[in-house]
Amino acid sequence: MNAGIIGTGHYVPEKVLTNHDMEKIVDTSDEWIRTRTGIEERRIASDDMDTSDLAFRAAENALKDADVKAEDLDMILVATVTPDQPFPSVSNMLQHRLGATKAASMDVAAACSGFMYGLITAKQFIENGSYENVLVIGVEKLSKITNWEDRNTCVLFGDAAGAAVVGPVSEGKGILSFELGSDGSGGPHLYQGKEDDLLYMNGREVFKFAVRQMPESSVNVVKKIGLSEQDVDYLIPHQANIRIMEAARQRLGVPEEKMATAVKRYGNTSSASIPLALSEEVKAGKIKENDLVVLVGFGGGLTWGAVALRWGK
């Protein structure tokens, strides 16, 4: 039994924070942000909207797209590092709110790689026959842990949610290969402070790691299924920085129009980044039946993950 993505959905808050808005908050410029990151604007959730609210809306959209009822879900996996509170988990809150009465639930904390870890966890439950429908969500309200006085980080992040329903698909379709990794020695380069709960990042070190790991992992998952870079039809990289994304695209030789660039409109949304970009590209009709799609991400930890999948049910 093969596991694949049978439905996608996403949600972004209404409030738009542009680079010109950022110029009024910290000492930066629209040109500096665009040329170094590719980001033009990001979405910010209101004070009365928390992580579980973002996740709920994306989940509803994904379930509708998959034509799966909440009561038919066997498990809910939520990737996030900005939960509403330490417990109950966001997935547990969603289980009740969606009416997914028979679903088990748990959260996954692997920062920007979280959705990849959730996706591969779902794959195991489906392919071993334990579960049939698993909802995987990547969601963050990063605005609540952002230091709005740190110009090196506050310009990068935004709030969003992306979701995918994972279920059985035909032979030859779905998730064909994956790679997950972890390097705890990189923890000091990207972390949440114990004292103030704010996000801290050593941009130079994270950049060096990402421009090496993203292209390497992308190529690895393609080679695992006996194919080459030329066989990749679409690339969905973690939407962190256009220069890092370009490194992966050029290594795979994928044309510019075949790579998702949601980073322009939403910034880095951590766990939500890949499912948000995937959902947008699917809705726009850019990903076609039988396309070989590579998803690849990296995040705090440091962690990373990549997937090669054949699109379709």
**What's the whole-number mean pLDDT along residues 176-202?**
97
Write down the residue that tokens 């604007």 correspond to.
41
Question: What mean pLDDT is predicted for residues 79-103?
Answer: 98
Q: Answer yes or no: is pLDDT of 245 > 90.
A: yes
Catalytic option among 2, 19, 61, 112: 112
Full-model pTM: 0.97
Taking 90 as the threshold, does the pLDDT of residue 200 lie above it? yes
User: Which amino acid is it at 232?
Assistant: V
pLDDT in tens, 216-238: 999 999 999 999 999 999 999 99
Q: Output the pLDDT for position 1.
A: 85
* Per-residue pLDDT at 203 exceeds 90: yes
Q: In what order do the strands lie in the sheet with 134-141?
A: 2-11, 159-169, 134-141, 75-79, 104-108
Two tokens at 215? 């292209």
H-type helices in 41-165, by residue range? 51-66, 90-98, 114-127
Cα–Cα distances (Å) from 13 to 49, 94, 116, in that order, read: 9, 18, 23
Backbone angle region of 68, left / alpha / beta, with phi > 0 → left and psi within -120 to 50 → alpha: beta
Residue appearing with tokens 């980073």: 263
> Residue 87: what pLDDT?
97
What integer is the mean pLDDT of 178-206?
97
Question: What pLDDT score does 252 carry?
Answer: 93
Assess whether 238 carries a catalytic annotation: yes
* C-beta separation of 134 from 66 below 8 A: no
CA distance 24 to 225: 49
Per-residue pLDDT at 157 exceeds 90: yes
Could you tell me if 282 and 8 are in contact, meaning their C-beta atoms sit under 8 angstroms apart?
A: yes
Rounded CA separation 46/147 (Å): 17
The mean pLDDT of 71-96, rounded to a whole number, is: 98
At 212 the pLDDT is 95
Best CA proximity match to 91, nearest among 121, 60, 135, 57: 135
Residue 311, CA distances (Å) to 121, 138, 219, 232, 297 in order = 19, 20, 18, 11, 19
Residue % of the chain over a pLDDT of 70 = 100
Total residues found in the chain within this entry: 313
Q: pLDDT digit string (tens) for 120-152?
A: 999 999 999 999 999 999 999 999 999 999 999
Cβ–Cβ under 8 Å, residues 136 and 9: no
Q: Which of 2, 189, 238, 241 is catalytic?
A: 238
